[in-house]
Every structure is written in C-alpha cells, then in structure tokens.
Amino acid sequence: MKRLIYIVFLLFGQATASYADTELPITVVRPTTYDAYANIPVGLTHEKAIRQVPAINPGEYFVPPAVGDIPTSKYGDMVKLGRNIFIDTQHYAKRYVGNGLNCSNCHLQEGRKPYASPMWAAYPMYPMFRNKSRDVQTFEGRVQDCFRFSMNGIAPTLDSPEIKALTAYAHWLSLGAPINKELPGRGFARLAKPRDPTPVNGEKLYKEECATCHGLDGKGQKFTNRDGYMFPPLWGGDSFNHGAGMSSVKDCAQFSKANMPLGKGWTLTDMEAWDICTYIWLQDRPWDPRFGWFFNIFAPPTGGN
Amino acid sequence: MSLSRTHKYLLAAGAVFGIAFGTWVIADTDTDADGIDDLPTLDSIQPRVSSQQPKLTLPNELTVVPVVKPGEYFVPPRLADLPDSKYAQEVRYGRNLFVNTQQYAKRYVGNGLNCSSCHLQEGRKPHAAPLWAAYPMYPMYTEKSRQVITFQERMQSCFRFSLNGMAPTLDSREIQALTVYAQWLSTGIPMGTIMAGRGFARIDKSDDPSPFHGADLYKNYCASCHGADLMGKKFTDRDGYMFPPLAGPDSYNKGAGMQKVKTCASFVKANMPLGKPYTLNDDESLEVCVHIFLQDRPWDPRKGIFMSLFMPVTEG
Amino acid sequence: MKIQKHETEKQLIKMLGLVILGVSVLTLTGCGKKSDESHDAAIAAGKMLAEKGRGSIPACVACHGANGEGLDAAGYPRLAGLNTAYIDKQLQDLARELPPPGVLIEKVSKDYSKTPRIYSDLTVFSPSVRHDAVMSPIAKQLSTTDIHNLAAYYGSLSFQAKPVAADYEVLERGQDLALRGKPEYGLPACVSCHAPDGEGFGAGFPPLAGQPAAYIVSQINKWQTGDRDNDNLSLMRAVADQLTDADKLNVAAYYANRSLTVKGK
C-alpha cells in the first residue's frame, strides 16, 4: 500500500510538471524570436563591423572532378560507394562508427573544400611520415585512424570494402593532382598565436558565433524528421574522442579559422579561433582509446598545446 | 605398433620413390654445375671470336628500332636527392626490397626472382611495367581478381604469383615500404594519368606462333643469358641468380602475368634482349614466349592438384 | 479463508491501480487540452486574419494562396508548414523601420553576373532588416498578437510541393551547387544548413524546397543589394555575395523541382 501511495504522489508530481511545461500564453513571444539581435554592439567602428577576408581568384585551388563524371564501371561503383560512406558514414559504415559524426563533418563539402583537409590534397601525399604514429603511414592506415579517433569507433580492416571504397573515392577526387606535391589548400589554415588562449573569452565567443548551430551545450542539433545530426556535436558522448586531431586545440583552431562559421571562413581572428577551441577542448568527450582508464581520468588530455 | 601389409608396402614404395627423386634432384643440380663449367674459356691473348671474324656483309633485313627522344618518358626522382628523414628511410628500404627481394623479403618469396627481374632498372624503365606509371592508376579494376583492388593488393598478387610465395599482409612493413617507394617514384605525376611507357609494349599478332621456331629463336637470342635449359644463371660466388630463370621451380608460377603468352611477348618485345629492345618483331616475340610457356614451372596456387595436373594451362 | 482474503486484497490493489491510472491519464489529457486550446485559438484567429483581412490589412490568401502554398508565377512565397518562429521573425523584421543605431550598413554595388567570387569583406553583425515594397507596409500594420496568430496558423498548415519541371542541365548544375557548393571558392553547400532535402531546419534555416523559383532568386538578389539583411551572424549574406546570376537560377530551379511533404503542427 505504501508503494501505491508513493506512486500516486509521483504521478501527480509528473502531471503538475507537464502542466507547467505545456502552457504558453498567447501574446508572449519567445525572447529569441522577438529580438534575436539584442546583442548588437553599439558604437562599432568600420574596422570592427567589416572584416576583411581573402578573396579567392579562379584557379587558385585544385578542382576535383564533378560527381556526374564518375565513370560507369566497377571502379566507378567503388567510387560511388566510397562517396556514400564519406557523406553518410552513419548509414554506410554504421558498425565501425561509435559516435554521431560523418567523414564530411570535418572534410567539408564531400572532402573537396580547401583548408578543410580535402581528400585531393591528402591522398597524393600518402604514404607519409606522421608524428602521431611516429611512422610512415599509408592512406588506408590513416583512414583507419580516423575511424578510431574522430569517429570514436573500431577501424575496418585494411582489406575491408569500406577502406577500399574510401581509398577509391579519395583517388578519384585527386585525379590530376600531382603525387607527392603539396597543393595550396592542403590540411588546415596556418595560424599565428599572439598570446596564450583563454577559455573565458572562448566561451563568450562560442556563444556568439557557434551556438546558433552547434547548440549552447555543444551537443549539436539532431534532425526532427530523421535520424542523425543536422549540426554535428562538438563535445559529449556523440562527438570525437580525446585522441582525435580535432581534440588538439591547434588543429581545431586551424580548422575553425578557415571554415567556421560555415560560409564565413576567415572572419574569426587567429586569437579568437584559439580561444574558442580552448573552450571546446576543455569539455567532456569520449576517452582516448590509446590510454586506459587511469590515464584518462587522472592525466590531462593531450592536444592542449 | 602393428602396420598392415598394405601400409608396409606403401611405406616401402614411398622410400623407394624418395630415393629416386633425391638422386634425380642431385643429378639435376650436377648437370647445372657442369653447364657452368662447360662455358668456353677464352685465352686472354686470343682475340674474341666476333672481332676475329668481322662480318663483311650487312644483314639482309635491317631492324628499325624506335628512338627515344629526351622528355618522351617520365623521369622519376633520383635516390641521391632524398633528404634524411623517416620517409626517406622508408623509401630506401622499399627500394632495397624491390631490387633485392631475395634478401629483404626472403620469407615471402618462393622462387629465385626479384621484383626488378621484370620491373627493370629498379622499376623505372618505361615499357617494363614501371612503378611510376602503375601507382597513379590504383585503386583499379582488374580482370584477374574481378574487383577493384588497391595498389597494396596488386603487390600481394605479385608475391603470390610472380614470386610464387606467400603475400605479406596489407599492414606489413614490406608492403608499406614498397608502396612508399612506388609513391616516391611517381612524385609529380598527376593522379590517374595514363603515362607514356605504362605497362609493356603493344603486340599485334599476324600469324599463329609456332613453338618450334620459338625454340630456335630462344637459342639465338635468349640462351646466352637465361641458359639453354631456361633455368637462368646463378652467381658462382654468392647466392641468387645473375640471370633470372624463365622455367623450373625457381621461376614464376602458372598464375603469373608472365605466363600469359601475350604479356610475355609484349615484355620481350620492349625489353629483350636486354639493351637491344624492339629487335624481335611481334611474331618473333610471341614465338619465343610460346616456347617459354610450354616449359615446366610451379603450379597455379589458385588451383588444386587435380586441376593443375590434368587440365590444360589456360593462359596460352 | 486465508487464501480468499489474500485474493480480495489483490483485487483491491488492482482496482486501486486502475483508478489511479485513469485519474492520472485524465489529468494529463486535461493539461494537454488546455495548451492545445490556446494554440487552437491562435490558429483560428490567424485563419480569420489570413482569409478575411482586417481594415486596411489585405487578406494573406490573396497573394500567398488559399492554403499558403504561394504563387509560382509571381514569386510569392509559400507559408504553409514553415517554422512558426521563422514566420514570426520575418514579419517583425519586415515591420522594422530602420536598423538599430550604431551599426554600419555597407552599400554594396557589385557586378554579380561575371566573376564567380567578388567579395572581399563581410559585415559581422546584421542589422535585422528586411525590406519589401509590397509586404513591408502590410507588416507594419500587424500587431504582435496578429503576427503570433498568423505564424501559428501557417505553421499548422500541411503542404505538398508540386515539382516544377526544368532543363536537365540546369537541374544538374543546381544540384551540384546545392549538395556540394563551390568548395574552391569557399562557398558552402545549401544542404549544410537548409537540411539534406532543403526542408529547412529550426527557426534559423528556412526551407528552400517547395518555394517558387522566382522567390528564391528575388531573395538572393535582396541579400546582395542589402534589402534583406536579417540572418544570424550574417551567414546568408556571406553566401549570397558569392552567387552569380546563373547560380541563382540553377539552384532555384533545382529546389523548385524537389518534391516535399510537410505535416503541419
């Protein structure tokens, strides 16, 4: 009987709570929609209001072949599979992915965008020596690392169709790119570091510049009409882990500088990018799979710079 | 321990066969050694035969050999230009593997060949399947495996067929180093470009090749290096082959690309006799290759004992 | 006897449980009804205004169609099934007189038909204005409640797009831009903010699919001239600045060609 009474109380508590949540007065509009630009600063100078970004001349960056030009052959089928895996990893390589990201969340625009580590600049450079593994690594091995760290999952084997298809896609994207030559737009942007970054400033900037899409809690935004994320999570259980490249403040800042906010690359100053990424770096995310629980709990995460 | 009578007979028969086989093998190697000893030794004072009796008449048919103009074929980077880095170490290791597979990848090789036995001049020579023309094309669909394979997998099948061995795994240091070497050789080539000098030469067949004529041609053009028995020539002062064997247990197996008469002929036309390419015409190289094709060599590893013994070889 | 007593107790408990369940369910539905009522009232008021107009305010259905499906030929946008907060904000911005003080607006005069990429500067803060010769005078007459009601009404309508046929090449180019953007010029793909099918996402990113092609083109033109400048972080202005005339037509044709089904809320 006691238990029953307890349940009654519980139900009533829930009922009242839901009542408070659902009610909205007719006339009042949510403050965000009513005045979304309450934070417009007063007294802006021309230099602060207008930010100069580098103009891009035609032919400055390598242009990979168009998707319509994928050949109708077995090779073309492999390329198509690779592209599908690349832009919808959640679906096509589900069992190897441990979080909510796709390849194209970092390698923007299907791995084509310069300064967003495009495939056409990476593939001709591999095999390459990497400091992370302290060894010369093939492209396939590098893709495995992506699955292990950035996707927080389990790497497909080297002879798996996933790795082969991704390699074929990267090869097709870099058709015409010279082998072993550094192309402009490779990797991320290069940054200056005028002072040590502060996460306090970073938090402020994050709320201004990033929270619209990635959410104030940094957990991204999920689709309402389907599975998956519309805007990828930056931290939390569904994001990349502590061993990922993006978990290093430097890589993150270099990426943000050239690409974020989406469509407005190069508008953050170098220092702003450092600050935001330090704030992101301090958040909780999955553990580094290279370390055991002791190091993950008691040692500071790597990549702090 | 009691063996039935049949078992005893079987054992005895096996022993007898073993002894016979052993003797045959020993005898075989003996003749090989004799062959080397039988080579004509020239007196240091005596002038060489060719200069003693100069040809007074020109040959009736002159063979026109294509002239290579400078810049016609891609020139890969020089090994000496490599800086001192981890990457360069891997490139050098890959090159060592490539030119001296017998030593550096011993456990994966089942015969007496090196990579550079077919991919001449460290994989640099045009029309001898140069690495710099192959690497930019992979991953590629191949008829042999009926799927798209990566460069690493292509090298695995080289180990399996041409080197008649066991393929190193895809993450092994050997495969990785060879990939690095190939990538370094193709530095500067646009990805996916079909380079001049890729693969072998083109072959146009005008007549069905005859192995009898091929045997004659072999004696004239090939036997001085590869031996009249096609078993190649071994070094006398060290291990390994000076001239690679074209048949026998130390050669490529029946699944290899060279076992295809056409592939072999296109290689021969563009590269053989070494230093005198394009002197054999298309039909002659085909005939030579039919002669080579008919010799004994290791079985195709894709097939079992029955198929290998009783079925005709397919790639003719 | 003991067993009987035990069973009656059990039955009692069962009954009690059922009663509690029923009561709680009733309370919950009651709560739901209450909020629904307010929502329904807003929808009804919005519907009245949309269909009949009021005083000098013309009826919305006159231009935006009987079910808010828009008018393809004239380029009047569809409103059915749009995000409520989005409609709300747009009407507020249309009614706004002048940008708030302290914000500079660059007058841009660039030739958008020629070079693929022309801009070299970006306004960081948008002044939240949207100007339209037809709609702005109407929006100024609407009260906050009117706007809320209209938004609730149009957000509740469901919508089925009628794909408009277009040239194959135009569609292909439009698709290329919509799915991949122009990476070599730093132009992001439409789908990276407006959702994979162009169905829009949240209050900040309106749908592109199901909008008349003429509307999309005219809006991009307005971004470029500065008549519309009311997005968050001025993201869309940065994007619109890089679109050539051909791009606008291609991508508008592509999205007018998409099929889309929206369920009203």
Residues B169 and B262 in one domain: no
CB within 8 Å: C117 and A19: no
| Per-residue pLDDT, B175 | 94
Q: Neighbouring chains of A at 3+ CB pairs within 8 Å?
A: B, C
Give contacts of B176 with chain A, Cβ < 8 Å.
Answer: 127, 136, 138, 141
| Per-residue pLDDT, B29 | 47
pLDDT in tens, C86-96: 999 999 989 88
Which stretches of chain B are DSSP H helices? 5-37, 49-52, 86-99, 101-104, 120-123, 131-134, 151-157, 173-185, 211-217, 223-226, 261-271, 282-293, 305-310
Residue C10: what are its φ and ψ, rounded to 5°? -60, -45
Element (H, E) at A229: strand A229-231
- Indicate if the pLDDT at residue C126 is higher than 70: no
Q: Residue B15's Cα: distance from chain center in Å?
A: 36
What share of chain A has pLDDT > 90, as a percent?
59
Give contacts of C201 with chain A, Cβ < 8 Å.
Answer: 221, 223, 230
Query: Containing domain of residue C122, as a range?
Result: 2-262
Bridge partners of residue C121, in order along the sequence: A52
CB within 8 Å: A179 and B136: yes
pLDDT in tens, B47-96: 555 555 555 555 556 667 777 777 789 999 988 888 889 999 999 999 99
- Name the residue with tokens 């204005």: C129
Question: Are A68-173 and A199-298 equal in CATH topology?
Answer: yes
Residues B213 and B140 in one domain: no
B268 within 8 A of B289, measured Cβ to Cβ: yes
What rounded mean pLDDT belongs to chain A?
A: 83
Q: How far apart are CA B243 and CA B123, in angstroms?
A: 17
Among B185, B219, B254, where does a domain finish? B185
Residues B261 and B208 in one domain: yes
CB within 8 Å: B139 and A124: no
Residues B227 and B290 in one domain: yes
| Per-residue pLDDT, C30 | 52
Residues B153 and B217 in one domain: no
- Residue in chain A closest to B140 (alpha carbons) equals A75
Bridge partners of residue B142, in order along the sequence: B147
Task: State mean pLDDT over C223-230.
Answer: 80
pLDDT band at A56 (very low <50, low <70, confident <90, very high): confident
What rounded mean pLDDT belongs to chain C?
A: 82
Query: Containing domain of residue B286, as a range?
Result: 201-310
CB within 8 Å: A34 and C92: yes
Q: Which has the closest alpha carbon to C91: C49, C124, C121, C120?
A: C49
- Name the residue with tokens 């900037």: A205
- Indicate if the pLDDT at residue A131 is higher than 50: yes
Tokens of C158: 């469901």
pLDDT band at B115 (very low <50, low <70, confident <90, very high): very high
- Pairwise pLDDT comparison (A123 vs C9), residue with the higher score: A123
The most confident of B309-313, C35-39, C66-70, by mean pLDDT: C66-70
Give contacts of B152 with chain A, Cβ < 8 Å.
Answer: 138, 140, 158
Give contacts of A7 with chain C, Cβ < 8 Å.
Answer: 20
| Per-residue pLDDT, A17 | 44
A285 within 8 A of A205, measured Cβ to Cβ: no
Indicate whether B51 belongs to any domain: no
Q: How far apart are CA C91 and CA A33, in angstroms?
A: 11
Q: Supply the CATH classification number for the domain A199-298.
A: 1.10.760.10
Indicate whether B67 belongs to any domain: no
pLDDT band at C174 (very low <50, low <70, confident <90, very high): very high
pLDDT band at A36 (very low <50, low <70, confident <90, very high): very low
Task: State mean pLDDT over C202-230.
Answer: 89
The answer, for A136 touching chain B at a CB cutoff of 8 Å, is: yes
**How many A×B Cβ pairs under 8 Å?**
93
CATH number of the domain that B211 lies in? 1.10.760.10
Residues B171 and B205 in one domain: no
Task: State ipTM.
Answer: 0.78
- Indicate if the pLDDT at residue A212 is higher than 60: yes
- Indicate if the pLDDT at residue A252 is higher than 50: yes
> Taking the alpha carbons of B189, B195, B196, B197 in that order, is the dihedral positive or negative?
positive
Return the SS3 of A232: coil
- Indicate if the pLDDT at residue B280 is higher than 90: no
pLDDT band at B33 (very low <50, low <70, confident <90, very high): very low
Q: Which has the closest alpha carbon to B182: A129, A133, A127, A144?
A: A127
Return the SS3 of B147: strand
| Per-residue pLDDT, B53 | 53
The answer, for A7 touching chain C at a CB cutoff of 8 Å, is: yes
Please give the tally of structural domains in chain B: 2
Give contacts of A61 with chain C, Cβ < 8 Å.
Answer: 183-184
| Per-residue pLDDT, A6 | 54
B195 CA: distance to closest CA in chain A (Å): 12
B86 CA: distance to closest CA in chain A (Å): 7
Cβ neighbours, 10 Å, residue B190: 16
pTM for the predicted model, two decimal places: 0.79
Indicate whether B60 belongs to any domain: no
Q: Which of A119-123, B32-36, B67-71 comes out lowest in average pLDDT?
A: B32-36
A159 CA: distance to closest CA in chain C (Å): 29
Q: Which of A68-82, A102-116, C85-99 comes out lowest in average pLDDT?
A: C85-99
Cβ neighbours, 10 Å, residue A185: 23
Neighbour-count burial of A210, counting CB atoms closer than 10 A to its CB (0-12 exposed, 13-18 middle, 19+ buried): buried
Indicate whether B61 belongs to any domain: no
Q: How far apart are CA B160 and CA B257, in angstroms?
A: 11
pLDDT band at C238 (very low <50, low <70, confident <90, very high): confident
Residues B208 and B301 in one domain: yes
pLDDT band at A286 (very low <50, low <70, confident <90, very high): very high
B91 within 8 A of B180, measured Cβ to Cβ: yes
Contacts of B83 by beta carbon, 8 Å cutoff, 6+ apart: none
Indicate whether B64 belongs to any domain: no
CB within 8 Å: B187 and A180: yes
| Per-residue pLDDT, C26 | 57
CB within 8 Å: B186 and A126: no
Please give the tally of structural domains in chain C: 1
pLDDT in tens, C245-265: 899 999 999 999 999 998 877
Residues B153 and B230 in one domain: no
B76 within 8 A of B185, measured Cβ to Cβ: yes
Instruction: Suggest the residue from A40, A256, A257, A266 to mutate for an interface test with chain C (most C CBs closer than 10 A).
Output: A40
Q: Supply the CATH classification number for the domain A68-173.
A: 1.10.760.10
Indicate whether B231 belongs to any domain: yes
Q: Which of residues 186-205 of B touch A (CB under 8 A)?
A: 186-193
Give contacts of C148 with chain A, Cβ < 8 Å.
Answer: 26-27, 29
* C to B contact (≥3 Cβ pairs closer than 8 Å): no
- Pairwise pLDDT comparison (A13 vs C173), residue with the higher score: C173
Q: How far apart are CA A291 and CA A302, in angstroms?
A: 11
Instruction: Suggest the residue from C124, C144, C146, C168 to mutate for an interface test with chain A (most A CBs closer than 10 A).
Output: C124
pLDDT in tens, B146-178: 999 999 999 999 999 999 999 999 999 999 999
Q: Which of A263-272, B83-92, C122-131 comes out lowest in average pLDDT?
A: C122-131
pLDDT in tens, B90-113: 999 999 999 999 999 999 999 999
pLDDT in tens, A145-192: 999 999 999 999 999 999 999 999 999 999 999 999 999 999 999 998
Residues B295 and B206 in one domain: yes
Q: Which has the closest alpha carbon to B284: B296, B266, B300, B259?
A: B266
Q: How far apart are CA C265 and CA A293, in angstroms?
A: 46
Q: Which has the closest alpha carbon to A87: A113, A55, A57?
A: A113
Task: State mean pLDDT over A4-32.
Answer: 44
Task: Kindly provide the b/e burial profile for residues B18-52, where b requires at least 16 CB atoms within 10 angstroms of the residue's own CB.
Answer: eeeeeeeeeeeeeebeeeeeeeeeeeeeeeeeeee
* Helix, strand, coil percentages in chain C from 3-state DSSP, rounded to 5: 55, 5, 40
Give contacts of A128 with chain B, Cβ < 8 Å.
Answer: 87
Tokens of C236: 């869309």
Task: State mean pLDDT over A46-72.
Answer: 79
Q: How far apart are CA C183 and CA C195, in angstroms?
A: 18
Q: Which has the closest alpha carbon to B152: A65, A150, A171, A122?
A: A171
| Per-residue pLDDT, A24 | 39
